[in-house]
Structure 1
Amino acid sequence: MPARRAPLFTLTLFLGAALLFLIQLVFARMVLPLLGGAPAVWNTAMVFYQAVLLAGYGYAHWLTSRAGRKWQLGIHALVLVAGLACLPFAVPANAAPPGESNPVPWLIGVLAIAVGLPFFAVSATSPVLQHWFSKTGHPDADDPYFLYAASNAGSLAGLLGYPLLVEPHLTLGNQAWWWMAGYALLALGVMSCGWRSAGGPEPAGVGRERITGRRRLRWVLCALVPSSLMLSVTSYLSSEIAAVPLLWVLPLALFLATFMVVFARRPVIPHRIAKRALPLVLVGVVMVLAIGATTPMSMLAALHLLGFFIAALVCHGELAKDRPGAASLTEFYFWMSLGGVLGGAFNALLAPVIFDRVLEYPLMLVAAAWLGLSSGKAGWRDLAWAAVPMVLALALVKPLGLTAAFGGAAVACFLLSRHGARFALGLAGVLLVAGFTVEKGSRVLLTERSFFGIHRVEDDGRLRRLFHGKTIHGLQDTARPQVPLSYYHPEGPLGQIFAAGVAGPVGAVGLGAGALAAYGKPGQVIDFYEIDPAVARIAADPRYFSYLSGSPAKVSTILGDARLMLAKAPDARYELLVLDAYGSDSVPVHLLTREALQLYLRKLAPGGRIAFQVSNLHLNLRPVVASLAHEAGLVCLAGDDEEVTDEEVAAGRFPSRWMIVARRAGDFGALPQKGNWEAVEGDTASPLWTDDHSSILPLLDFRLR
């Protein structure tokens, strides 16, 4: 019976979409260590995957419009077999990223070699199967788009299932083998669907309804804006609101959920309701952007995510409302995929070059308002009305302050929301005014955006700070320039380590502003290992920080991933290794594995020590270091200065947690008597991270603080 074919198609589509997301996550987990765990790695990988998805959709359109039914089945079987020949996937041997140049071309090349073909084969599955379903004679065959909702449900299952179920229980090697088994099962399901649909009528040709260039352009734009907005809100939340690991999962999950809603047979949120909600949430988001609000974190994060969800829901709802008949299904998906590629490329490739901050976020909020609420036309009268909120903000900001001024402007924007063009232009005007009027407590000396994030140097007249997004990565007192501050304060744990005696060479993973160089002595060697060339330039420039230039030691900065660069250093070189790379939202897991510790020990001189800075708002890394030390037979101490007063924080001393390991207790010297240090015993229940198996999920504290 034709009606029985729907479950087979639905389950096959669900499996294909889950595999599509799992391969992205598994391979990202494999390649992230080579690039220091930078969030831009994921954005760049997303652009690659979207481009291959576009190629897959283009192939699906060609296949279903140019080849007969039997040829379609045979050709697609060959494509699936070719993908199987590349499995199980892995990072190519001897793959090493460039140390000083932009790693984007290298990363795209690695992705293409390792997972390009199987990803292409799976990506074509959804449109091909939906086209085949439209020829089955099923009662819903003339409108098979509900299967796209099932496909996105599979994507969501893969996205959430990986950190919750797959990563904690399987090694990376096993993950790749299980993915290959799922791929083989998918190939069988696809072939079965092809045979089940073979008895239906042959396609009568694509393009029964006339599709104009204007309509195609709108499809592209309605897909481009949510794609860009997803990456934009992720960057903004992680840099300005809350540096929480795995935060990128939430916008991506909401993005997939909007597709499930709008392409369902009966959407749980009707399109008209989403359009009515859009002005209200956008006004709220624009207001907090305009006043530069960053607290309370939990409420602001929820507002930004809600704004993104409604905006994506409206844009994707416009796509679903304007979908063509089944005969043009594959063409529709092609143009929609093109929009996704362009949105991702704009954020990952173009925005970091043309913007020094996350300006793509407000830009896409305005674009969402325009697409979702306007007819696409605006006259002089619309421009005049749209100027009202901007003029109001300018008039009120000086006498009443930021909150009142932009609150009034937000209300004025909302009153214009019945006219979509006026509303969108009004939001743009308010955001433009905000860019020139937001008050800052410090003077911004430099803002620089690199592949690894946005860096900002601020000066409040005494303390100079280096920010990476929201996280302070360096601090210097201009009145006492050679006194190390923040987590490196002389009275803190690291100061106690140096006070216990460090005369030989020092290696430091993570440069920041270079405060550790202030501990250097004449003739002493200090090697900094830093992955971000922008950080190296800022720390070396005495106009911003003078720790490096003012140090009496012989200081050098080695660019590239720390493990790759340390491997090239002479064995037994360092008396002290300091690892400070765990303070932000992107934790470089590969620097805390069994294999990493083995490398550190090779580079450690007899009697040497390894110090780990494990301060992190959202992760408890102490059990990880303790397990590594216990398994390697090392002695481990933990020290902290958590009782730092508010006055001390204002003066530049930050509370911090440190751990130090050595081969023998005697290697610590007088350190145990110098501060709040305690011996740490290994716990067999604690996680032991390896290059092949690790998960930060058990260590997470999801509270936004």
Structure 2
Amino acid sequence: MTTIDRVATERSSPAVRLALPVFALTLSLSAFLLFSVQPFFAKMVLPRLGGSPGVWSVAMVFFQGVLLLGYGYAHLLTSRLGLRAAALLHAVVLAAAFLFLPIAIPAGWETPPETGQSLWLLGLFGVSVGLPFFAVSANAPLLQAWFARTGHPHAADPYFLYGASNLGSFASLILFIIFFEPLFTLSLQSAMWAAGFALLAAMIVGAAMLVISVEAPVENGPENQTGGEMSGSIGETARWILFAFIPSGLLVAVTAHISVDVAAAPFLWVAPLALFLLTFVLAFARRPIFTIRRLGSVLPFAATAALIAIYAHSMVPIWIALCIHLAFFFIAALFCHSLLVARRPPAARLTAFYLWMSFGGVLGGIFASLIAPIAFEWVAEYVLLILLVMVIGPRIAARPAGEIATFVATGAVLGAMILTGAQFEALERFFSGGALAAVLIGFAFAALVIGIFQPAARLIMLIPVIPLAFLQSHASGELFQERSFFGVVRVSDTADGRFRLMRHGTTIHGAMALSNSGDRPEPLTYYHSSGGIAAAIHAMQRRRGGAMDQVGAIGLGTGSAFCHRAPGETWTGFEIDRSVVDAAVDKGLFSFMPSCAPDAPMIVGDARITLAGEPDHRYDLLLVDAFSSDSIPVHLMTREAIALYLSKVVADGVVVMHISNRHLELGSVLAAIARDEGLAIRTGHFTPDAADAERHVAKSRVAVIAREAAHFGPMLDDPRWTVPEAGTTRAWTDDYSNIISAMMRKK
């Protein structure tokens, strides 16, 4: 039998024919498990650190870092060990990971230290989920490298399997939201994950046995994968890192921008993440739908539209802005990932390719999630990454004249739109008398035609534009702007000069009339005297004979609520975001705190942590006002959280919770907790009249919880307060919550 006949026979064997479905299914399950463990374990950890967004940032760094280690481990297995030795070692690692299943918070790690929480959290992730995640993270490059040795007709170019694995990640994302989170507790999800891991381990052993039985030499890939540049040059490695850095950074930056500066809504973060995974599927497909040339043709348009949506945000409706940002992100990420695929090396260097790609992704994530919030006052990293995409974009000089003319004409039209927009009264301050408009006109034009030049020339042309990323807050007329891990806090006056507003992203957290007369400013927005918060506070004051003793307020805003303090009362504030304290108290921008509670102590930190350190049975009333934003901190309204609040109020004290929300119906959630725990609850809807609405007085929904109904006092005779129906709603706990159900009830 000739060599050709032997190879043909091997490729037609049942084992070789089974290779593709076996490896595709194994990779899909591996990606499913890899992606699903991240949200459920991070959610498991949240109550330990008070639900701080810093938990998600540390989780991102940990998982991306361990993913990089897993890719490095896979590279060492394939480059230093033979197939049998590598398979045996990986089987040992998988077996060792079983010792950490099911995933849970280990004994001795229940309470974080007072300082160094980030390092403590990294340690908790490491001892809890580190080895299982490490074992799973190595599978994507390792199994593709093994598939390259099966002799399958597609073995010479196994990269398309990476697209299959990202389908598993995509499925995990969607199913977690619509299936696992609404139906199962975190502990049950952990048990299910352990069962899935056992199945995966068995499938990996089967895949290893299959490839060992038919082991063939690794073949060279397609012609475009050979040549000097694929030999591992520093320049080529740098390109892999860059092309992975940009989409990873954009994922974090776009998510932050649309959820903070465009629209705050539950699950809005899902859209960019789903698109990110989809770009991997499309880019690594054996027959890509979108070519690099086609993507490069539309990229300048998308980038320019995104920049205009950022800088001229007042001109762009919210839904159009969302579409613009998501469309740009999809095009830019797919363009970068397609460039990665176009420069993929032969299968023999597959694991090195994925290792450097993962390294670029880690750098992008660290830049956008950890460095940028410290370095920039707003989401400036988004602008910088857009500019970077424009630098690496394709040249358009060789295109037909009509196509170039379209670029130029579009730039002129967009510039004219900006110039026209600058004439509107509402935008006069933003455009600073037209100076910034002129810059933006040139910017929009340059963004479209810049593809004519070489990348080095583009970079030089963009250098004068880069300062715009740092000057946005100064050009937009903000009195105060500060960024933290919790978002961007802005203070500005309305165009008519009548009111001063505090915004956190798109949500107004308080307003003050600039024409206030008298010693005590009038609370507005949700805190107006006609609203539910004021009604509950005043009812409890009447019950105590005119004044309570101690009041705790979780969530500061502008400090409006403190102006309902009666003489003789001691109020204590709890606020998670130092930027909010700076804006409301330290900068002299609002007069609520100086006028109404100048001596009120302010405790900075998450309420689940800081409140736990307060003496039990201290407060007559505890105001929990962390629900006025459209993205709620779930950990503050679970059964365990309510138990904490009640432990801090006196025997006949009450907990007042502000639950206004445009997207979620939260009254049923609290009613379910009250039902299960034998508590009393009342809710009220308060709507201002037309005249008050024009003065930034907002409608509100408020819930009041007590141990017994008698503790509500005058509220029992007030028809505005009613008993909410829990129905079949399941109570939220630290182990279970169902955002989807709350959204559906709102409809």
Q: Do they superpose with TM above 0.5?
A: yes
How many Å apart are 1:188 and its aligned residue? 1.1
How many Å apart are 1:509 and its aligned residue? 1.8
Instruction: Answer with 154-163 or 661-670: which moved more.
Output: 661-670
Q: Is the 8 A contact 1:241 1:295 kept in 2?
A: no
Q: 2:523 maps to what in 1?
A: 484
Q: Does 1:558 align with 2:603?
A: yes
Q: Is the 8 A contact 1:369 1:420 kept in 2?
A: no
Change (3 A) 1:547 1:689: same
Q: Does 1:190 align with 2:186?
A: no
Q: 1:313 maps to what in 2?
A: 334
What per-residue deviation string (whole Å, max 9, x for no partner) do you get for residues 399-454 of structure 1? 8576986568535642444446467776776675587589978x422222222222
Q: Is the 8 A contact 2:383 2:469 kept in 1?
A: no
Q: Does 1:627 align with 2:627?
A: no
Matches within 5 A, 1:105-184: 105-184=119-198
Is the partner of 1:164 in helix, strand or coil?
helix
Residue ranges of structure 2 left out of the alignment (5+ in a row): 1-13, 397-407, 425-430, 542-547
How many Å apart are 1:321 and its aligned residue? 0.5
Change (3 A) 1:366 1:372: same
Q: Is the 8 A contact 2:51 2:606 kept in 1?
A: no
How many Å apart are 1:316 and its aligned residue? 0.4
Q: 1:32 maps to what in 2?
A: 46
Q: 2:726 maps to what in 1?
A: 682
Change (3 A) 1:64 1:10: same
What per-residue deviation string (whole Å, max 9, x for no partner) do you get for residues 131-153 of structure 1? 11111111111100011011111
Q: Does 1:580 align with 2:615?
A: no
- Aligned partner of 1:283: which letter? T
Is the partner of 1:364 in helix, strand or coil?
helix
Is the partner of 2:596 in helix, strand or coil?
coil
Q: Does 1:651 align with 2:695?
A: yes
Is the partner of 1:308 in helix, strand or coil?
helix
Q: Does 1:444 align with 2:478?
A: yes
Is the partner of 1:8 in helix, strand or coil?
helix
Q: 2:402 maps to what in 1?
A: none
Is the partner of 2:640 in helix, strand or coil?
helix
What per-residue deviation string (whole Å, max 9, x for no partner) do you get for residues 654-702 of structure 1? 211111122333322223555732232432x123112211111111269
What per-residue deviation string (whole Å, max 9, x for no partner) do you get for residues 445-491 of structure 1? 22222222222222445533222222222333344354322211112
Cα distance between partner residues in 1 of 2:707 and 2:147: 65
Change (3 A) 1:398 1:605: closer
Q: 2:539 maps to what in 1?
A: 500
How many Å apart are 1:520 and its aligned residue? 1.9
Q: 1:11 maps to what in 2?
A: 25
Q: Is the 8 A contact 2:665 2:745 kept in 1?
A: no
Cα distance between partner residues in 2 of 1:320 and 1:524: 66
Is the partner of 2:595 in helix, strand or coil?
coil
Normalised by the length of structure 2, the TM-score is 0.85
Residue ranges of structure 1 left out of the alignment (5+ in a row): 376-384
Cα distance between partner residues in 1 of 2:385 and 2:504: 23
Change (3 A) 1:533 1:341: same
Change (3 A) 1:204 1:396: closer
Q: 1:454 maps to what in 2?
A: 488
Instruction: Answer with 47-56 or 664-673: which moved more.
Output: 664-673
Q: Is the 8 A contact 1:611 1:661 kept in 2?
A: yes
Q: Is the 8 A contact 2:572 2:601 kept in 1?
A: yes
Q: How many pairs align?
A: 690
How many Å apart are 1:363 and its aligned residue? 0.9
How many Å apart are 1:369 and its aligned residue? 2.0
- Aligned partner of 1:609: which letter? V
How many Å apart are 1:192 and its aligned residue? 1.1
Return the match for 2:566 from 521, 535, 555: 521
Q: Does 1:333 align with 2:354?
A: yes
Q: 1:382 maps to what in 2?
A: none
CA RMSD of aligned residues (A): 3.2
- Aligned partner of 1:361: which letter? Y
How many Å apart are 1:562 and its aligned residue? 1.5
Change (3 A) 1:494 1:400: closer
Q: Does 1:353 align with 2:397?
A: no
Change (3 A) 1:439 1:63: closer
Normalised by the length of structure 1, the TM-score is 0.90
Q: 1:276 maps to what in 2?
A: 297
Q: 1:694 maps to what in 2?
A: 737
Matches within 5 A, 1:51-62: 51-62=65-76
- Aligned partner of 1:357: which letter? W
- Aligned partner of 2:154: which letter? D
What per-residue deviation string (whole Å, max 9, x for no partner) do you get for residues 580-635 of structure 1? 11222432212212222222222221322211101111111111112122222233
Is the partner of 1:303 in helix, strand or coil?
helix
Q: Does 1:89 align with 2:132?
A: no
Instruction: Answer with 393-402 or 261-270: which moved more.
Output: 393-402
Change (3 A) 1:250 1:450: same
Q: Is the 8 A contact 1:609 1:661 kept in 2?
A: yes
Cα distance between partner residues in 2 of 1:622 and 1:109: 37
How many Å apart are 1:63 and its aligned residue? 1.1
What per-residue deviation string (whole Å, max 9, x for no partner) do you get for residues 284-330 of structure 1? 21222231237422221111101100000000000001100000000
Q: 1:473 maps to what in 2?
A: 509
Instruction: Answer with 274-283 or 252-261: which moved more.
Output: 274-283
Change (3 A) 1:694 1:620: same
- Aligned partner of 1:693: which letter? Y
Is the partner of 1:128 in helix, strand or coil?
helix
Is the partner of 2:231 in helix, strand or coil?
coil
- Aligned partner of 2:352: which letter? E
- Aligned partner of 1:353: which letter? I
Cα distance between partner residues in 1 of 2:513 and 2:270: 38
Cα distance between partner residues in 2 of 1:174 and 1:560: 31
Change (3 A) 1:550 1:131: same
Q: Does 1:568 align with 2:613?
A: yes
Cα distance between partner residues in 1 of 2:443 and 2:389: 19
Return the match for 1:464 from 490, 500, 504: 500
Q: 1:378 maps to what in 2?
A: none
Cα distance between partner residues in 2 of 1:703 and 1:320: 44
How many Å apart are 1:198 and its aligned residue? 1.1
Q: 1:670 maps to what in 2?
A: 714
Change (3 A) 1:227 1:102: farther
Q: 2:3 maps to what in 1?
A: none
Cα distance between partner residues in 1 of 2:622 and 2:416: 53
Is the partner of 1:651 in helix, strand or coil?
coil
Change (3 A) 1:396 1:172: closer
Instruction: Answer with 5-14 or 450-459: which moved more.
Output: 450-459
Change (3 A) 1:104 1:560: same
Is the partner of 1:612 in helix, strand or coil?
strand
Instruction: Answer with 611-620 or 404-413: which moved more.
Output: 404-413
Q: Is the 8 A contact 2:380 2:469 kept in 1?
A: no
Change (3 A) 1:701 1:358: farther
Q: 2:404 maps to what in 1?
A: none
How many Å apart are 1:504 and its aligned residue? 2.6
Identity %, equivalent residues: 41
Q: Is the 8 A contact 1:222 1:371 kept in 2?
A: no
Is the partner of 2:364 in helix, strand or coil?
helix
Q: 1:45 maps to what in 2?
A: 59
How many Å apart are 1:39 and its aligned residue? 4.3
Return the match for 2:310 from 289, 294, 310: 289
- Aligned partner of 2:540: which letter? G
- Aligned partner of 1:484: which letter? P
Q: Is the 8 A contact 1:135 1:203 kept in 2?
A: yes
